Amino acid sequence: MSVVDDLQGLEARVASRLRELRPLMDEYRELEQIATRLGLPTDGATGTAPAAASSTPRRARRTRPKKGTAAKRSRGSRAASSSGGRREQVLAAVKSQPGITVREIGVQLGIDPTALYRAVRGLERDREIVKKGRELRPA
């Protein structure tokens, strides 16, 4: 067997394995998106998820700054849907309508309210808003 034959066999095995794994990676990406909307961490015990080869570009992963820093996060083209953009939208809604609920903000923005909980928790943690029951109020 020649080196060329070895390489062609390896190429065929890699292509076959990629075909086997594609449905799993597609499912992983869907679950990762759902986890993000729910505010759940998306990195596993072994670190962050591997980037999958895809025909559609994905936004760059952001890393959290260390506590106490005010570092800006890189957002790519989907700034309005990232948690930083959502924070500003949620804060503006709370300031303009004290007592508004997360559900009502979701309706105003035309998005699923579960996509707002990470931003709400961050605003609470940073003491920019106060949550009493379902109502959100400026701090």
For 1-139, where are the alpha helices, taking DSSP H only? 3-37, 83-96, 102-109, 117-125
Range of the domain at 103: 78-139
Domain total for the chain? Answer: 2
Q: CA-CA distance, 91 to 34, in Å (whole number)?
A: 23
Q: Are residues 85 and 138 in the same domain?
A: yes
10 belongs to a structural domain: yes
Q: Are residues 82 and 35 in the same domain?
A: no
The Cβ of residue 93 has, within 10 Å, a number of other Cβ atoms equal to 20
Per DSSP, the three-state class of 73 is coil
Give this prediction's pTM: 0.42
122 belongs to a structural domain: yes
130 belongs to a structural domain: yes
Residue 41 sits at the vertex; the CA angle it makes with 31 and 52, to the nearest 5 degrees, is 50
69 belongs to a structural domain: no
CATH of the domain at 110: 1.10.10.10
The per-residue pLDDT string of the chain (139 residues; one tens digit each, 9 = 90 and over) reads 789 888 888 999 998 888 888 888 888 888 888 888 888 877 654 344 444 444 444 454 555 555 554 444 434 334 444 556 889 999 999 999 999 999 999 999 888 888 898 999 999 999 999 999 999 999 8
Q: Are residues 89 and 37 in the same domain?
A: no
Question: CA separation (Å) from 10 to 13, 17, 23, 48, 49?
Answer: 5, 11, 22, 28, 25
9 belongs to a structural domain: yes
54 belongs to a structural domain: no
| Distance from chain centroid for Cα 76 | 12
47 belongs to a structural domain: no
Give the tokens for residue 31.
């679950």
137 belongs to a structural domain: yes
Q: Are residues 27 and 83 in the same domain?
A: no
